[in-house]
Amino acid sequence: MTAVLRQPGFWLWLPACLLGALLMGQELRPAMGAFPGGAAAGLLMLFPVLVFGFWFFRRLHPARSRPKPYALFATIWGATAACGVALIANTAFIGILSKTVGLKITDSWGAAIAAPVDEETLKLLGVAVLVLLAPRAIRGSLDGYGYGALVGVGFQVIEDFLYVFNTIVLTGATMDVGAAFGSFFARVVFGAWWSHWTFTAVSGAGLGYLTGRTDRRLPGRVLVALAGYLLAMAMHCWWNSPFLEGGLLINMAKGLPLLVGAVLLYRVLRHRYLGRFRQVAGAEVRNGVLLRGEDELLTHRKWRRAERRWMSSGESYDLVTRLRRAQLDLIDSDLSGEAAPRLRTEIARLRAGLTDCLRRQTES
């Protein structure tokens, strides 16, 4: 954590999140005071959604979970900085639209124009700030996808909480708890599958390619990042557009292509990542850094968990955990010429320590 405090990105992340939290508080405080029952119901329903989304997207990686502090930084940005500032930006943008294109067009298309521009920019900034805050956290498109999804989940849950109060008002403000349940089912049960997490996952993947794939030429990386950003805005625009408006089944038909697109993108990124992972791990086996079979073991978290459970003492458990972490760092990083030898030396040291520890256990 001390190293994070020294990064310039932290001092962008912290004031932006505090500002966003302040703006959200100003928006929510009157509504929560007026409808405490609806607020309590909304919190009880949405907090587990936030926890599950954090757990799921943090683990959405074929080799290992993303570091918890960085995942928290991304989620908090979406819930505070992006969501809070978007309240002001969307209001201003829609006000400009109403004066330039008229109230009729703004009423139909205002949300489809303003929200994609404001919200997708603010959410993607959270991934960009994470690059500055933790330069090694985003090593490619797959990391950008995961952290983008985490930013989107944070934004999505807080936005859903805001909509609880919108639903209460629209239903006459007489049954705030019932309205909260209705809002939850409409926006979460039937809408969360293809909402903000899909948009920011796509743009985050593009930004991850730009910042992590330093083996590619810069103009091509910029084009990929720009394409991801524009595609995320197009997805958001489609979801907010007046097309296919109606009941829940129509909304599901409208949202399903967004979910399918996000899932297919993940499958492509996962396949490419594992191909590169196995290629690098195989090279380290041939170099003698990894033992034969360890290249396959490292790709399966459940196998590594079973290995740790087999270790009977605290010392061997700690050594094998550190050994696997160092091996994953060696394979999973775009390492400099100086870092790779250091990690290979650390792997050799940990392996020798583990061998000695297991020998002593056997002799005793």
Residues 177 and 224 in one domain: yes
Asked if residue 267 is part of any domain, the answer here is yes
Q: What angle do CA 167, 258, 216 make, to 5 degrees?
A: 130
Q: How many domains does the chain have?
A: 2
pLDDT at 125 over 70: yes
116 Cβ contact list (under 8 Å, min separation 6):
199, 232, 233, 234, 236, 237, 240
Residues 197 and 57 in one domain: yes
d(CA 248, CA 284): 52
Q: pTM of the predicted model, to two decimals?
A: 0.92
Asked if residue 269 is part of any domain, the answer here is yes
Residues 85 and 213 in one domain: yes
Residues 311 and 249 in one domain: no
Band of residue 81 on the pLDDT scale cut at 50, 70, 90: very high
CA dist 255 → 44, 60, 162, 235 (Å): 26, 21, 21, 9
Q: What are phi and psi of 182, to 5 degrees?
A: -60, -45
CA dist 343 → 163, 221, 325, 350 (Å): 49, 28, 10, 10
Residues 271 and 356 in one domain: no
| Range in 68-77, 226-235, 256-265, 300-309 the model is least confident about | 300-309
Residues 101 and 121 in one domain: yes
Asked if residue 255 is part of any domain, the answer here is yes
The residue to which tokens 């991934």 are assigned: 127
pLDDT at 335 over 50: no
d(CA 361, CA 364): 5
R_g over Cα of the chain = 23
Give the pLDDT of residue 1.
60
Asked if residue 97 is part of any domain, the answer here is yes
pLDDT at 342 over 90: no
The residue among 230, 250, 278 that closes a domain is 278
Asked if residue 64 is part of any domain, the answer here is yes
Residue 182 CB coordination number (10 Å): 16
Average pLDDT, stretch 135-157? 94
Residues 54 and 126 in one domain: yes
Residues 273 and 327 in one domain: no
d(CA 153, CA 155): 5
Residues 71 and 220 in one domain: yes
d(CA 307, CA 321): 9
Residues 264 and 120 in one domain: yes
pLDDT at 75 over 60: yes
Task: Retrieve residue 196's tokens.
Answer: 């903000």
Average pLDDT, stretch 244-259? 84
pLDDT at 334 over 60: no
Asked if residue 23 is part of any domain, the answer here is yes
Give the pLDDT of residue 336.
45
Asked if residue 283 is part of any domain, the answer here is no
The residue among 278, 313, 339 that closes a domain is 278
Residues 248 and 355 in one domain: no
Say if CB 167 and CB 115 are below 8 A apart. Answer: no
Asked if residue 212 is part of any domain, the answer here is yes
Residues 345 and 271 in one domain: no
pLDDT at 338 over 70: no
Domain containing residue 188: 2-278
What is the three-state SS of the chain? CHHHHCCCCHHHHHHHHHHHHHHHHHHHHHHHHHCHHHHHHHHHHHHHHHHHHHHHHHHCCCCCCCCHHHHHHHHHHHHHHHHHHHHHHHHHHHHHHHHHCCHHHHHHHHHHHHHHHHHHHHHHHHHHHHHHHCCCCCCCHHHHHHHHHHHHHHHHHHHHHHHHHHHHHHCCCCCHHHHHHHHHHHHHHCCHHHCHHHHHHHHHHHHHHHHHCCCCCHHHHHHHHHHHHHHHHHHHHHHHCCCCCCCHHHHHHHHHHHHHHHHHHHHHHHHHHHHHHHHHHHHHHHCCCCCCCHHHHCCCHHHHHHHHHHCCCHHHHHHHHHHHHHHHHHHHCCCCCCHHHHHHHHHHHHHHHHHHHHHHHHHC
The residue among 229, 251, 278 that closes a domain is 278
Band of residue 215 on the pLDDT scale cut at 50, 70, 90: confident
Considering only residues 214 and 224, tell me which one the structure prediction assigns the higher pLDDT. 224
